[in-house]
Structure 1
Amino acid sequence: MTISEYDFIVVGAGSAGAAIAGRLSENPAWTVLLLEAGPSDRNPWIHIPIGYAKTFYDSRYNWKYMTEREPFLGGRTIYQPRGKTLGGTSSINGMVYVRGIASDFDTWRQLGNPGWSYEDVLPFFRRLESNERGSDEYHGRDGPVKIGEPAWRTQLSDAYIEAVANAGVHRTDDFNGPEQEGVGYYQITARDGRRSSTARSYLVPARGRANLHIVTGALAERIVIEGKRATRIVYKQGNQSVTAKARRDIIVSGGAVNSPQLLQLSGIGPAGLLAENGVKVMHELPGVGENLQDHYAGRLMYKINRRWSLNERMKTLPQRLLLGAEYFLTRKGPMAVGASTVAAFFRSNPALSEPDSQLQFFAFSTDGFDKGLHPFPGFSVLVNPHRPESRGFVRIKSSKPQDAPLIQMNFLQAEADKLISIEVMKFAMRVHASDPIKSLIDGELKPGRDVRSDDEILAYVTETGESCYHLCGTCAMGPKDNRLAVVDERLRVHGIAGLRVADASIMPRLISGNTNATSIMIGEKCADMIRVDNC
């Protein structure tokens, strides 16, 4: 067994972890160890935006988790991809750059987390951005993450935006400005045809720093707790067990699944669960692994009568070669964009004061990336409520780090989630009955013309609905007197010194939109708090 010593140890090189390690290593007086269970991010498909379709089921770069049988979805299991490489999920996701809305963060503050209001977090969003639009009150241009405009605007996408506008949602060109509501094109974490993962944004510039040590293929096994302080991390690299000591802090950034798993494996969590799995209880903390949240979406899919989708451009080998040539010559076109190009943030009920739901438009149709695109032109749409009331959990099933934990989402557990899911599906149907998209539709593939009543819509969403892969909440931030809180407002684990958690798992409530941008912001803010606390 080898032992090394650092000021800080960051476990997980994902959206938050890479940002933390990159920022901490800017101080030459500090030594930083960054551990990543997956391999390096050298695969070209990680850096080509459309490569998400290649890594979506690739176990080399993806944990490929599956939930347990979901009790409120008729016993179905739900796929949950999670990044397993430098950059984590930011290296394999659809690259959507959305922050949420101001009230999301104001609610975090109201739940007992000073320093996390929208006014508090906005500077960290601006700090991470190198926005193609430049700098203003809401955007930054000097940050490491390149935020780009869509590189593929099509007649089909433009027609869809017009149809949503005709259904009553105003147009917008910025979901991250003074208000989120509206319909328009996404900005993405890519520019000039290259994905801007946190590995590329934070770690590539830091690689020359002698004080940063990045170790891939390093599976964290447990955090060593001495007294009530985290002092060491034990990890496995190949067949070798390695122990690293932290002089200051260990920061766990494994994400909403792996962070609670590591805490539980280390004896921090619900005492009964730990005892059942043969793990010695070092510190009882009931909230570890609880409060799991995600967006749950219904899918609609249509065949169209124009050759305006990606389907027909991927149909034959010569057509795919032309796409490749377009990308390599211009860094534009379908290979340079994320999964979804257009979105609408809207109110499921006009009486609401702000949007509570999201629609994502895809200029292609498929029954699954592993099955290829349909041989005819088509598009698909995901639509979901933003603030689900249903809660799930993540729990270890054994004391072995290599064993995947139990993931239970409990989608549609809450009656309110069922009712709003019906309303957002109805909204999408109204859009598709509006011109000009109505005149393009040549057939409804999903849910089908026989699904129109509330009961039929709910049954369809229950039987076929999907995760949006926005998992969060399992190491929730909150005051010590909150029984389910795991970390305080400075992301320090309650009751354990020298240990923090910083990733999507600390979100006490799910934000109104895709979670990657907020995860990076959490990394930026964590690094800043560590800097202040160690002055």
Structure 2
Amino acid sequence: MDSTYDVIVCGAGAAGCVIAARLSEDPGRRVLLIEAGPHNRRLSVVAPAAFSSQFGTKLDWNYWTEPEENLFGRSLHEPRGRLMGGCSSMNAMMYVRGNRYDYDSWAADGATGWTADECLPYFTRSEDNADLGGPYHGRGGPMHVETNTPDPVTRKIVDACVEAGFDRLDDLNGARQDGVAFTQVNHRHGMRHDTATAFLSGARKRPNLTILKGAVVQRVVVRGGRAEGVEILRGRESIRLNATDEVVLSAGAFGTPEILQRSGVGPADHLRSVGVTPVLDLPAVGRHLMEHPFQFVNYELTGADQGLFDVAHPKHLARWLARRDGKLTSNVGEALGFFRTDPSLPAPDMELVIAPLFFWEHGKREHPRPAFSLGLSYVAPTSRGSVMIDSPDPRAKAKIRLNMLSTQAEVDAIVRGVHKAREIVSMPALDGLRGAEINPGVWVGDDYALAQWVRSTVEHTYHPTSTARIGTPETGACDPELRVHGILNLRIGDASAMPTITRGNTHAPTIMIGERCAAFIRGERLASGPPAALAATA
């Protein structure tokens, strides 16, 4: 391995794999991609329904929040992928771009060039959509997208959503987001299609791309206001690696601010308090953390349909190994709906995740009988948290504070969502299918009781963002071309750069950010997409 490269990309996650692959398309550019974890060729990664079995293992950074004061002091587990592909190798594979209101709001607040129409070409560039075309989708890109083939239980719940007033859609990434549809997923031939597989399978053969696994980035080396390279920890050895052109941080909404702070870039007073000499006082680094609260409502199933209750039976594994089909190909969240808990809102504030099995406490809790789950992801939060290191040691995790549900209005919206879920379950389409309400239970009926139940049981949707966001030097970490303020040749390329969290799963937008980061470095500009490029607010 050489000691000097043109570009060093720190983190082989959803965006880092994209950035390294795209930059290495230029044969004269030497690219190093650094990843702390191992390879992604594992059954728990490749078999879609097995994703939650990775939580808490050596493939997980295994973050936990500090006790959350608005959640009765509970600490929440925040799984983050520690392997090639990062969270794209650990998530539920839902391909959701968000609402055009998100991106247009970014641009209106100062993120010039990030409107929905300007972002659309960077979504379609990555995409190889097997089912959908037209102006909203791409064919021939590295990232395979297809529409889920749902379980019969899921189909009936979708029918119930329509009876409850949802519009039935074919495409939640098209002209409209309000409605219900079967989930678009990153699957291919019955297997997960993560960014490591999609973008690096061909790229890793290029002589100008080096992939280094099992290395933790200690800090960015900054001298004279310029990023000169990085220091990594591999085993017990500390190694200096040089970058002649750029260093890109793609370590995620937790890892990227940790690296910046260990490098002396962040809130100066806090850095001094934990033993780091400030290089640049950027007060927003590690601030503005956003996450989607996630509340499940669970029901038992009656009748012949079992959903995915027996998905762990060896017969399903045998079928998947032989034919790459059957229940193990499910991403669990087989259909999605978006709705507004208040009709006056400018865009949906709730994402409904439909799963034909019991899911609770990150999949760890079991129920003795077949069941289904309606997950309520509150996609318009206002709460802000933080990611702050407590030590310059890269082996010590930062303190994570989500500050979730800091306003009663957020709780009230989720309570309205629970009422909507109950309405859906009461529809005729589920006659003969619905059983007893498991969570919250019929005895939790009035809004006060539901609000207390939400605060005592709510989790998150695995979507941390915005901790090194686009903004001014006072409000953000980087400019609209993802360049870190005050430090030459240093960029942010992951979900931490989002000015605010998007309305939906953050995987697809993170890939888009990776595409844009690479394009900025290469000096490329793609033409804007057509009007109403992303899901319209109407």
Q: TM-score range by the shorter chain?
A: over 0.9
Change in CA separation of 1:139 and 1:159 when aligned onto 2, cut-off 3 Å: same
Q: What secondary structure sits across from 1:148 in the alignment? A: strand
How far the C-alpha of 1:507 sits from its partner, in A, is 0.5
Is it true that 1:410 corresponds to 2:403 in the alignment?
yes
Letter in 1 for 2:125: R
Determine helix, strand or coil for the equivalent of 2:147: coil
SS in 1 for 2:310: helix
Provide the rounded CA distance (Å) in 2 between the counterparts of 1:22 and 1:74: 44
**In the alignment, does 2:522 pair up with 1:531?**
yes
The equivalent position to 1:512 in structure 2, one of 466, 481, 503, is: 503
- Give the structure 1 partner of residue 5 of structure 2: 6
Match of 1:205, SS state, is helix
Alpha-carbon distance between aligned partners in 2 of 1:500 and 1:89, rounded to the nearest angstrom: 20
Alignment equivalent of 1:493, drawn from 478, 484, 496: 484
Aligned mate of 1:324, from 313, 317, 329: 317
Q: Which of residues 439, 460, 463 in structure 2 aligns to 1:446?
A: 439
In the alignment, which of 158, 168, 177 is matched to residue 171 of structure 1? 168
1:339 counterpart = 2:338 = no
Unaligned runs of 5+ in 1: none
Structure 2 counterpart of 1:72, from 64, 70, 73? 70
For residues 267 and 364 of structure 1, the distance between their equivalents in structure 2, rounded to whole angstroms, comes to 46
Deviation at 1:278, TM superposition (A): 0.4
Deviations 1:365-388 (A, max 9, x none): 144466464331101121132111
1-side partners of 2:524 and 2:274: how far apart?
36
Q: Percent identity?
A: 36
Distance in 2 separating the partners of 1:390 and 1:134: 35
Query: What is the Cα deviation at residue 352 of structure 1?
Result: 3.3
2:257 corresponds in structure 1 to 260
What are the superposed Cα offsets for residues 173-194 of structure 1, whole Å, 9 maximum, x if unpaired?
1111111111121010112112
Matched residue, 1:24: 23
Please list, as runs of the form range in 1=range in 2, the aligned pairs for 1:124-523 lying within 5 A after superposition: 124-151=122-149, 153-314=150-311, 320-368=313-361, 371=364, 373-480=366-473, 483-523=474-514
Q: Residue 499 of structure 2 aligns to a residue in which SS?
A: coil
Deviation at 1:134, TM superposition (A): 5.0
Taking the aligned partners of 1:145 and 1:65, their CA distance within structure 2 comes to: 28
Question: Aligned equivalents of 1:406 and 1:490: distance in 2?
Answer: 28
The residue type equivalent to 2:497 in the other structure is I
Find the residue that maps to 1:289 and give its secondary structure: coil
Partner-residue secondary structure (3-state), 1:273: helix
Q: Could you tell me which amino acid in structure 2 is paired with residue 83 of structure 1?
A: G
The CA RMSD over aligned residues, in Å, is 1.6
Is the deviation greater in 327-336 or in 465-474? 327-336
Matching residue's letter, 1:348 = T
User: Structure 1, residues 339-379: CA drift from partner, whole Å, max 9, x if none?
Assistant: 31011101112333432211101111144466464331101
Residue deviations 1:310-367, cap 9 Å, x none? 454247xxxx232123323442222112131011101112333432211101111144
The AA in structure 2 aligned to 1:503 is: D
Q: Distance in 2 between matches of 1:352 and 1:133?
A: 31
Q: Which amino acid aligns with 1:45?
A: S
TM-score by length of 1: 0.95
**Structure 2 CA distance, aligned partners of 1:236 and 1:137?**
45
Aligned length: 525
Most deviating of 10-19 and 420-429? 420-429
2: distance between equivalents of 1:306 and 1:141?
Answer: 41
Query: Secondary structure at the residue paired with 1:96?
Result: coil
**4+ long deviations beyond 6 Å:** none
Code of the residue aligned with 1:98 in structure 2: it is: V
8 Å CA contact retained: 1:135, 1:141: yes
Alignment-mate amino acid for residue 337 of structure 1: S
For 2:319 and 2:241, the matched residues in 1 are separated by 47
- Deviation for aligned residue 1:280: 0.4
**Pair 55,347 (structure 1): closer, same or farther in 2 beyond 3 Å:** same
- 2:480 maps to a residue whose letter is E
Q: 2-side partners of 1:404 and 1:264: how far apart?
A: 12
CA distance in 2, matches of 1:353, 1:16: 29
- AA aligned opposite 1:520: I
Residue 415 of structure 1 deviates from its aligned partner by: 2.8
How far is 1:3 from its partner? 7.0
Distance 2:162 2:309 in 1: 27
Are the counterparts in 1 of residues 160 and 424 from structure 2 also a CA contact under 8 Å? yes
Q: Does the aligned pair in 2 maintain the 1:479–1:489 contact within 8 Å?
A: no
Greater mean alpha carbon deviation, residues 420-429 or residues 501-510: 420-429
Contact between 1:221 and 1:235, CA under 8 Å: does it hold in 2? yes
TM-score, normalised on structure 2? Answer: 0.95
SS of the aligned residue for 2:437 comes to strand
CA contact (8 A) 1:41 1:85 kept: yes
Q: Which amino acid aligns with 1:154?
A: D
**Deviation of residue 435 (structure 1)?**
1.9
Deviations 1:447-469 (Å, cap 9, x if unpaired)?
A: 01111211111101000001101
Q: Distance in 2 between matches of 1:288 and 1:103?
A: 25
